[in-house]
Chain A
Amino acid sequence: AQKITQTQPGMFVQEKEAVTLDCTYDTSDPSYGLFWYKQPSSGEMIFLIYQGSYDQQNATEGRYSLNFQKARKSANLVISASQLGDSAMYFCAMREGGNYKLSFGAGTTVTVRA
């Protein structure tokens, strides 16, 4: 079964606007971590933000914030004030408990328009 689901293959956003990327996950482990990575066209994977299952507050890192809804098993990434450099593929990923493996979603391509 798919552990991470990203339902939006591609999105367009106007420069300076906010965009929300959806991510739902499936786990029965009470201890897990959720990660978002950015992959620009150059190909490297860049870590953006982390949310732990026991964290009380939603994670924030600069213009990135995570809308964590535990009961709904969703961990949506919000990018505020989009910039042209935000155009990239974005991946949601999860680690469960003591398992080192990162399970990735299929990704969402974001294109920022000027």
Chain B
Amino acid sequence: NAGVTQTPKFQVLKTGQSMTLQCAQDMNHEYMSWYRQDPGMGLRLIHYSVGAGITDQGEVPNGYNVSRSTTEDFPLRLLSAAPSQTSVYFCASSYSGRLQETQYFGPGTRLLVL
């Protein structure tokens, strides 16, 4: 299994540009989520999905869109990039939503918005 994969690894955008961060998992996990990591703040949940066709907002959803058309993929779209969206983005997945179920993280995408 490749686990959770993310592309690209690194991206530079100009303010106002849009882009999609890709996330895929091959573990047949139902639950997937996107986090952003900023210095001194740990990780914060952006959006999550409990299954294909079902998404919900996390703690910091503004400026981001998601969709879940398949179990495997959960792309994150930046509609109009802003410098405040400069961050490291992590995708994570878990088999179920049980409390003790750990989330498996992808390698991250480092985004710089100029």
Contact = CB atoms under 8 A, between A and B. Distances in A.
A34 to B, nearest CB: 10
A91 B43 contact: yes
A45 to B, nearest CB: 4
A33 B42 contact: no
A50 B40 contact: no
Interface residues of A, number: 24
Interface stretch (A12-20, A64-72, A76-84, A100-108): A100-108
A112 B70 CA distance: 43
Interface of A: 4, 31-33, 35, 37, 43-45, 47, 50, 52, 91, 93, 95, 97-98, 100-102, 104-107
Interface of B: 31, 33, 35, 40-45, 48, 50, 58-59, 88, 90, 92, 97, 99-100, 102-108
